[in-house]
Amino acid sequence: MDEFSFIQSIQPKTYKRTNLIKGIGDDAAVFRPMYHDVVTSVDTFVEGIHFSKETMSAYDVGYRVLATNLSDMAAMGSTPSFYLVSIVIPKHWSEEELQALYKGMEDLARLYNMDLIGGDTVSGDQLVVSVTIMGEVTSGKARYRSHALPGDVVFVTGTLGDSAAGLHVLLKKEKGEDYDYVINRHRRPSPRVKFAKSLEAIKRLSLNDVSDGISSDVGEIAESSHVDLHIDYEALPIHSSLKTSFDKFLLRKWVLSGGEDYELIGTVPPSDWGRVEEAARKTGTRVTRIGRVEQAKGSTPTVFLHEAGTKQILKKEGFNHLKGD
């Protein structure tokens, strides 16, 4: 199959968004923003590093790639609208698998009323998928990591460590009904777009998503906002199937630094906590208070972990691509 017919095959027949002016087929796409602020980001996934056919189907690869991008849109408080896909195709990926990969993205995009509006297609030795996503937000309403203030409540959506547990089970080829939940959480994360949108009435809110593991993601809020964050380990939300099926040591590592759960972590003034709970109820999202924000005591903003009456510094142990190589 040549590049031309491939592009034709993945080209949407119709578009969902009325503010799209030119979709796939010209040198570039054109859309007219509905709100004033356009939010955009890009994420790149390389076979063998970010995913492998051993643990995921082609469909899941597509689904997950777009889900991680949607999570960035959620973490900015924006509504996703368009995406572009740049793909490097190696010989060992069949046409059926490529179609399945696009289907995974398309099925998720449909849930969020998003359109595929462009991309690029080249060949190479490894499958690389790079997704550029666009979202929109009411002027001045984008949510930043830098908006935490002393006195804030720290919260997290969903449960932590699920994705890392799922990957562990998949790599060890362990079987059991109990594992279906974590495997699904690894392959098909649920970006918290609707929940983030429901927080719109809150005046000040800091937000980040759980991509590298909370030790790292909470640290980013501390650094950007120049505050200390105090996290209560016993308060961290852990799914019941993790508590019963896995070793305590592994579980702790996954919860603190597993990452890729694509949940949201944020901070709000205590007076807005009720609004957060309301958004959780409205969108069927679990939300848990896990700590508080304090003024930075030292010269570097720090995250403290409180556990069984002790306090320690929570280092950024999350997955860091540049570390050690």
Query: Residue 209, annotated ligand binder?
Result: yes
Q: How far is the CB of 133 from ligand ADP (least distance, A)?
A: 13
The one segment of 63-71, 111-119, 192-200, 212-220 that binds ligand ADP by CB under 6 A: 111-119
Among 3, 95, 120, 180, binds Mg ion (CB under 5 A): 120
Among 121, 138, 184, 245, binds ligand ADP (CB under 6 A): 121
Listed residue (183, 181, 192, 161) closest to 263, CA to CA: 192
Q: How far is CA 174 from the centre of its chain?
A: 26
| Residue 1 or 49 with smaller CB distance to Mg ion | 1
Query: Residue 145, annotated ligand binder?
Result: yes
Q: How far is the CB of 67 from ligand ADP (least distance, A)?
A: 18
Say if CB 77 and CB 142 are below 8 A apart.
yes
The one segment of 48-56, 120-128, 130-138, 173-181 that binds Mg ion by CB under 5 A: 120-128
| Residue 119 or 318 with smaller CB distance to ligand ADP | 119
Beta strands per DSSP E along 210-313: 227-232, 264-268, 287-295, 303-307, 310-313
Query: Residue 120, annotated ligand binder?
Result: yes
Query: Residue 212, annotated ligand binder?
Result: yes
Query: Residue 272, annotated ligand binder?
Result: no
What is the footprint of Mg ion within residues 76-105 (CB under 5 A)? none
What is the footprint of ligand ADP within residues 50-109 (CB under 6 A)? 85, 87
Listed residue (124, 117, 131) closest to 27, CA to CA: 117
Q: How far is CA 132 from CA 34, 66, 81, 99, 304, in A?
A: 19, 9, 11, 19, 35
Choosing among Mg ion, ligand ADP, none, which partner's interface includes residue 119 (Cβ < 5 to 8 Å by kind)? ligand ADP
What is the footprint of ligand ADP within residues 12-41 (CB under 6 A)? 24-27
3-class secondary structure per residue, 128-191: EEEEEEEEEECCCCCCEHHHCCCCCEEEEECCCCHHHHHHHHHHHCCCCHHHHHHHHHHHCCCC
- The number of CA neighbours under 13 Å toward the Cβ of 109 is 26
What is the rounded distance in angstroms from the CA atom of residue 74 to the CA atom of residue 220? 16
| Residue 120 or 277 with smaller CB distance to ligand ADP | 120
Which residues belong to the annotated binding site for ATP?
A: 102, 119-120, 145, 211
Q: Which positions lie near ligand ADP, rule CB under 6 A?
A: 7, 10, 24-27, 85, 87, 116, 118-121
